[in-house]
Chains A and B, each alone.
Chain A
Amino acid sequence: MRPILMKGHERPLTFLKYNRDGDLLFSCAKDHNPTVWFADNGERLGTYRGHNGAVWCCDVSRDSARLITGSADQTAKLWNVQSGQQLFTFNFDSPARAVDFSVGDKLAVITTDPFMDVTSAIHVKRIAGDPEDQIGESALILKGPQGRINRAVWGPLNRTIISAGEDAVIRIWDSETGKLLKENDPEVGHKKTITSLAKSVDGSHFLTGSLDKSAKLWDTRTLTLIKTYVTERPVNAVAMSPLCDHVVLGGGQDASTVTTTDHRSGKFEAKFYDKILQEEIGGVKGHFGPINALAFNPDGKSFSSGGEDGYVRLHHFDSDYFHIKI
């Protein structure tokens, strides 16, 4: 396949997200300006100007009308996707890290980092239909995890919130009462910081990637470990294919190999694994730096990866990808 290279960001990429229809790709990077691209040919549509710090995460509403971004400048902002205009700003006492719209886009979960004397927290905000009515108050604030919370997503039917972070523990919270419902079994769980989390299309299972060079597949309801995928590199980003039973892991460079790797450029790859057999299917090379973000198009026929090199690479699969057999 011929990847399309998009170099709109000058700083490393942090997050990639497709909209529900699969025609827009939102990219967040450390360069303060989230960008939206057309997902078929990679043409840039626009950038959202307004943040003063690295943008860590974003989410787009189902109708692709609203974008929410979380940034290191201690704010999370709501944007009009089409015009690029800021609709509302949520202010926090510490950098905002992960954002996620609920099903129905009426609520959003925003996590904040531990900063000075503030511990990390998960905020639930109501999103008003009309941006004029938007208020900045949190409907719910959850505290408890030590260390940074790297990802937080809504569970099935918005009943739960799933969070994962630096303490390598996955937690499930009740979204109405704020009570901690479950934590994963530490024996089988990750041993190091969990960097990324990806839900399946139906929400029944999710994948977490961690710096301990593995990714694990969990059941959403019971938080039991289903599968483990092992790589040679710390995992920075994970994605699950909506069409085939594949998972993709993107990673960083082990510090110990920094001086001894050869200098072939473009050798950072996104590794494909069979979801069920846990075996590596292959890798897609091309990035010049560790891969920080991965996203699959909802139609499953293309995926994009964002790296430390500031490039977004958009890959449309060849037809033989769909016939891969181990």
Chain B
Amino acid sequence: MALVRPGSGNQPPKLRWGELEEDDGEDLDFLLPPRQVIGPDEDGIKRVIEYKFNEDGNKVKITTITRVRRLAQARLSKRAVERRSWPKFGDAVHEDVGARLTMVSTEEIFLERPRAPGSKAEEPKAGGDPLSQLTKGGAALKLCRTCGKKGDHWTSHCPYKDLAPPTEGFIDKPPTTEAVPGTPSTGKYVPPVQRGGGDRVGSDMRRRNDENSVRVTNLSEDTREPDLLELFRPFGAVSRVYVALDKNTSVSRGFGFVNFVNREDAQRAINKLNGDIRTDGVGFPLDRSLQNLPDLLCMARQAICCTRSLPWSVAHRPYTEVSPCKRRV
């Protein structure tokens, strides 16, 4: 039953509650405030505010917020506009509008400028899969061959490119790009387990000679086994020394291993020599106070440290420390 009487003219009909029926709700729309459209603002957000009566007869305000996003300005030529209205053909004939063939990506993709991997927001994988470091996608993996500094500049832009190139053989990439604390010198390595003075398992470690090996890094080019032997003998019986040499040029790759017979000797050697400065007259003393290790690397060419990402090694290996290696060399 319609409330609006035809011909009633300009006056809105007076409503009498007695005449209202339950299901005449839709005719009461004139009671509601008008529909409001707050048009797309600069973010493309459009608000539509409507009022209606819900089932209980209560006035309900419905606000619809949509984001109108223009992906592109399409200025089409006349023919292009015609083409827009072409019928679908081929496999597209039975397609409805809701077909999921075409969808806007949910993530925002940017033209990523090439940046050094270290400066990226993603967390540097400490140890983990060392090889994944090599293939960090996207940003160019800039490894300067002259100073070994990763990710900062290309070899051709190295500030130290006038120096003769370093020893042949592969230069390992440092596992993480955190600023490395500088304890330069004939570096020796302490695994994190040891560093805290920590509780280490394994009384069997004492016995096994393999576990008494000490890794020494940051050696000069002409360091050889006798030198290491001489250096470590005061601490105890040494069963084996080894200096890593480059196959082609026979220069030291800067690191080596010393195996003690007794674990305690190894430990003492570590305590004594870790962080110690040695020169063999060729290089120059590395100032322990210098914090800026990477620059140091460039300058002390002979003392280039090869911190290899050993698969078995633990993360957070500080630059130069002494340690018993847990592995037979």
CA distance A282 to B137 in the complex (A): 12
For the complex formed, measure the closest distance between the CB of B92 and the CB atoms of chain A, giving whole angstroms: 5
Contact bitstring A261-296, B, C-beta under 8 A = 1, else 0: 110100101001000000011111110000000000
- Are B111 and A316 closer than 8 Å at their CB atoms? no
Shortest Cβ distance from A34 into chain B, in angstroms?
9
Of the residues B86, B88, B111, B129, contact of A284 by C-beta under 8 Å: B111
Given A6-B102, A283-B138, A24 and B109 touching (CB < 8 A)?
A: no
Closest Cβ of chain A to B133, distance in Å, is: 9
Q: Are A6 and B72 in contact (CB under 8 A)?
A: no
Q: How far is the CB of B11 from chain A (nearest CB, A)?
A: 49
Q: Is B41 an interface residue (CB 8 A)?
A: no
Residue of B nearest to A47 (CB): B90
Contact, CB under 8 Å: B108 / A84: no
Say whether B112 contacts A284, CB under 8 Å: yes
- The B140-191 residues at the A interface (CB cut-off 8 A) are 140
The answer to whether A284 touches B137 (Cβ under 8 A) is: no
Mark A41-66 against chain B: 1 for CB-CB distance below 8 A, else 0: 11111111100000000000001100
CA gap between A82 and B84 in the complex, in Å: 11
Task: Tell me which residues across on chain A come within 8 A of B132, comparing CB atoms.
Answer: 260-262
Residues of B within 8 A of A1 (CB): 108-111
With contacts A5-B102, A260-B135 taken as known, whether A40 is within 8 angstroms of B86 at the C-beta atoms is no
A63: B residues at CB distance < 8 A: 79
The smallest C-beta distance from A47 to any residue of chain B, in angstroms, reads 3
CB distance from A250 to the nearest CB of B (A): 14
- With A280-B140, A284-B111 as given contacts, are A46 and B89 in contact (CB-CB < 8 Å)? yes
Indicate whether B54 reaches chain A with its CB closer than 8 angstroms. Answer: no
Question: Is B91 in contact with A262, judged by CB distance below 8 angstroms?
Answer: no
Q: Is there an interface contact between B109 and A2, defined as CB atoms closer than 8 Å?
A: yes
B105 adjacent to chain A (CB < 8 Å): yes
Q: Which of B67-120 contact A (CB under 8 A)?
A: 69, 71-74, 76-77, 79-80, 83-84, 86, 88-93, 95, 99-105, 108-114
Is A3 at the interface (CB under 8 A from chain B)? yes
User: Which residue of B88, B104, B111, B140 is within 8 Å of A324 (Cβ)?
Assistant: B111
Interface size classification for chain B: 35 or more
Task: Give chain B residues whose Cβ lies under 8 Å from the Cβ of A264.
Answer: 137
List, in ascending order, chain A residues with CB within 8 A of B60's CB. none
Q: Provided the pairs A5-B104, A64-B83 are in contact, do residues A46 and B90 lie with their beta carbons within 8 angstroms? A: yes
- Known contacts A4-B71, A44-B92, A283-B111; A23 and B76 CB within 8 A of each other: yes
Main secondary structure of the interface of B (DSSP, over half): loop
Contact between chains at A43 and B102 (CB < 8 Å): yes
Do residues A5 and B83 form an inter-chain contact, with CB atoms below 8 A? Answer: no
**With an 8 A cutoff between CB atoms, is B131 at the interface?**
yes
Task: Let me know if B134 is at the binding interface, CB within 8 A.
Answer: yes
Residue of A nearest to B103 (CB): A5
Q: Is A315 an interface residue (CB 8 A)?
A: yes
Number of A-B residue pairs with CB-CB distance less than 8 Å in the complex they form: 140
A71 close to chain B: CB less than 8 A:
no
Q: For the complex, give the distance between the alpha carbons of A114 and B84 in Å.
A: 40
Count contacts on A: residues with CB < 8 A to the other chain. 54
CA–CA, A22 to B112, complex, Å?
A: 26
**Cα–Cα, bound, A272→B113 (Å):** 9
A269 to B135, CA, bound (A): 13
Q: Are A301 and B90 in contact (CB under 8 A)?
A: no
Q: Are B80 and A21 in contact (CB under 8 A)?
A: yes
- Establish whether residues B90 and A285, one from each chain, have CB atoms under 8 Å apart when the complex forms: no
**Residues of B contacting A285 with CB < 8 Å?**
109, 112, 137-138
Is the pair A46, B138 in contact by a Cβ cutoff of 8 Å?
no
**Closest partner residue, chain A, to B95 (CB atom):** A44
Among candidates A2, A5, A40, A321, residue contacting B111 with C-beta atoms closer than 8 Å: A321
Q: Chain A nearest CB: distance from B259 CB in Å? A: 32
B110 and A257 contact, CB distance less than 8 A: no
B residues within 8 A CB of A286?
105, 109
Asked whether, in the complex, the Cβ of B90 is within 8 Å of the Cβ of A84, the reply is yes
A45 interface neighbour in B88, B108, B138, Cβ under 8 Å = B88
State whether the Cβ of A134 lies closer than 8 Å to any Cβ in chain B.
Answer: no
Report the minimal beta-carbon distance from A229 to chain B, rounded to whole angstroms. Answer: 13
Judge whether A8 is part of the interface by a CB distance below 8 angstroms: yes
Query: Which of B105, B112, B113 touches A5 (beta carbons < 8 Å)?
Result: B105
User: Contact residues of B with A, CB < 8 Å?
Assistant: 69, 71-74, 76-77, 79-80, 83-84, 86, 88-93, 95, 99-105, 108-114, 129, 131-132, 134-135, 137-138, 140
User: Could you list some 8 contacts between A and B, CB below 8 A?
Assistant: A2-B69, A7-B101, A44-B99, A46-B88, A63-B79, A262-B135, A284-B109, A324-B111
Q: Report, nearest first, the 8 A-B pairs whose CB atoms are least far apart.
A: A47-B90, A84-B89, A46-B89, A23-B80, A316-B72, A42-B102, A46-B90, A282-B111
Given A23-B84, A269-B112, A280-B114, 9 extra CB contacts under 8 A: A2-B71, A2-B109, A3-B105, A4-B102, A43-B102, A64-B83, A260-B135, A262-B132, A269-B138
